[in-house]
A = this chain, B = another copy of it.
Amino acid sequence: MIFLESDYTEGAHEAILQALTRTNLQSVSGYGADPYCQRAKEKIRQACQCPQADIYFFVGGSQTNGAVIRSFLSPCEGVVCADSGHIFTNEGGTVEFSGHKVMTLPNCQGKLDPAQLEAYLARCQADPIANHKVHPGMVYISHPTELGTLYTAEELEQLHRICRQYQLPLYLDGARLGYGLMAEGASVDLPLIARYCDAFYIGGTKVGALCGEALVFPNHNAPKYFFTLMKQHGALLAKGRLLGVQFDALFTDDLYFKISRHAIQMANQLKAGLREKGYDFYLESPTNQQFVIFPSHQAARLSDKVKFSIWQPLGDDKVVVRLVTSWATQPSALGQLMELL
């Protein structure tokens, strides 16, 4: 079976497993008060060029989103995002569970359009009965988006400026951040994100870790009692080392970037192969998620030998198929896929 289903179908990069093994019997205090977490945080601060950053490690992305969003919003505020945003579509109502509304704008190939955002916030502000309604309280974007697309540096700067104007925190969900940073033509890097966002997380689970996301408040701006809030959300690991050791390894010798680049190379190879065979793409994605248009019968037949997901049906008996590469994708797997097509 060829796995192109997601970027979390294998365990961890071997350097991570080795680090876990190497440090395994060292006795350290719990809940993140260990030297591995400290070291990992220091390396991330350097990579982001924000020496004052507050950093917290989480086990997964929905958990991180849930905690950050709740910590930023006051009771009658909601979070604004594109209607393709993971927090709106696929997180089982985590935001609503914490009492808040997700306020959506139509996505532009997965992205939140700065002009639309600005117009929306202006409309909210001018609304004569605004005080009967949920107030926009922060802005959520994902980078790469759920559709594999990327914001440009200019777009990110615009979002930042609009958020500043309306005094709304800007939060970036980087579940697949490495793949976004290493994409060809990417104009957004970690220091830029740290400069333009009030919080963001560097995804580990989908980029080589067993589990783990590193949440960054770049300006020492973690909300009050954020540690307790993690506890309250069930997000505090007794063995915090599990996350510290992994991020320490990921940010040693550029491992995070190297393995991300590998996934991009695999995606490019996949795209080239599919193009050569005449397949159309649902949209142009520069990252590790590719959305390809297949005849329905071919998708059905292929599913015996390849694991992938059906993104959505199209007309004319066609479907959009999502194929995902990762740090662990073997070139041979892509070769086998091409032979099957």
B24 touches A5 (CB 8 A): no
B60 touches A237 (CB 8 A): yes
Chain B binder among A12-20, A110-118, A147-155, A256-264: A12-20
A8 to chain B, nearest CB (A): 4
A10 touches B29 (CB 8 A): no
Among candidates B9, B30, B134, B224, residue contacting A96 with C-beta atoms closer than 8 Å: B134
Question: Is A28 close to B, CB under 8 A?
Answer: yes
Question: Is A328 close to B, CB under 8 A?
Answer: yes
Chain B binder among A65-73, A190-198, A247-255: A65-73
Q: Which residue of B lies closest to A31 (CB)?
A: B132
Chain B binder among A45-53, A138-146, A205-213, A285-293: A205-213
Question: Is A25 close to B, CB under 8 A?
Answer: yes
Chain B binder among A74-82, A156-164, A214-222, A272-280: A74-82
Contacts of A67 in B (CB 8 A): 234
Contacts of A332 in B (CB 8 A): none
A29 touches B5 (CB 8 A): yes
Question: Is A235 close to B, CB under 8 A?
Answer: yes
Give Cα A131–Cα B3 distance, bound, in whole angstroms.
22
Contacts of A267 in B (CB 8 A): none
Interface positions of A from 85 to 119, Cβ below 8 Å from B: 89-102
Give Cα A228–Cα B223 distance, bound, in whole angstroms.
23
Question: Is A41 close to B, CB under 8 A?
Answer: no
A9 touches B28 (CB 8 A): yes
Give Cα A26–Cα B1 distance, bound, in whole angstroms.
11
A262 to chain B, nearest CB (A): 14
Number of copies: 4
Give Cα A80–Cα B26 distance, bound, in whole angstroms.
39
Interface positions of A from 156 to 212, Cβ below 8 Å from B: 205-206, 210-211
Contacts of A58 in B (CB 8 A): 234
Give Cα A90–Cα B310 distance, bound, in whole angstroms.
37
Question: Is A43 close to B, CB under 8 A?
Answer: no
Question: Is A135 close to B, CB under 8 A?
Answer: yes
Question: Is A129 close to B, CB under 8 A?
Answer: yes
Contacts of A61 in B (CB 8 A): 238
Q: Which residue of B lies closest to A90 (CB)?
A: B132
Among A224, A229, A239, the most chain B Cβ lie within 10 Å of the Cβ of: A239
Contacts of A242 in B (CB 8 A): 11, 210-211
B133 touches A92 (CB 8 A): yes
Give Cα A307–Cα B29 distance, bound, in whole angstroms.
9
Question: Is A38 close to B, CB under 8 A?
Answer: no
B238 touches A60 (CB 8 A): yes
Give Cα A23–Cα B102 distance, bound, in whole angstroms.
39
Give Cα A34–Cα B177 distance, bound, in whole angstroms.
26
A281 to chain B, nearest CB (A): 22
B239 touches A205 (CB 8 A): yes
What 3 A-B pairs come out closest when comparing CB atoms? A63-B234, A92-B231, A11-B24
5 sample A-B contacts, Cβ–Cβ < 8 Å, listed by A number: A59-B234, A91-B132, A92-B133, A93-B100, A211-B238
List 7 additional contacts besides A14-B24, A70-B75; criterion CB under 8 Å.
Answer: A74-B225, A76-B232, A77-B225, A93-B101, A210-B242, A211-B237, A234-B235
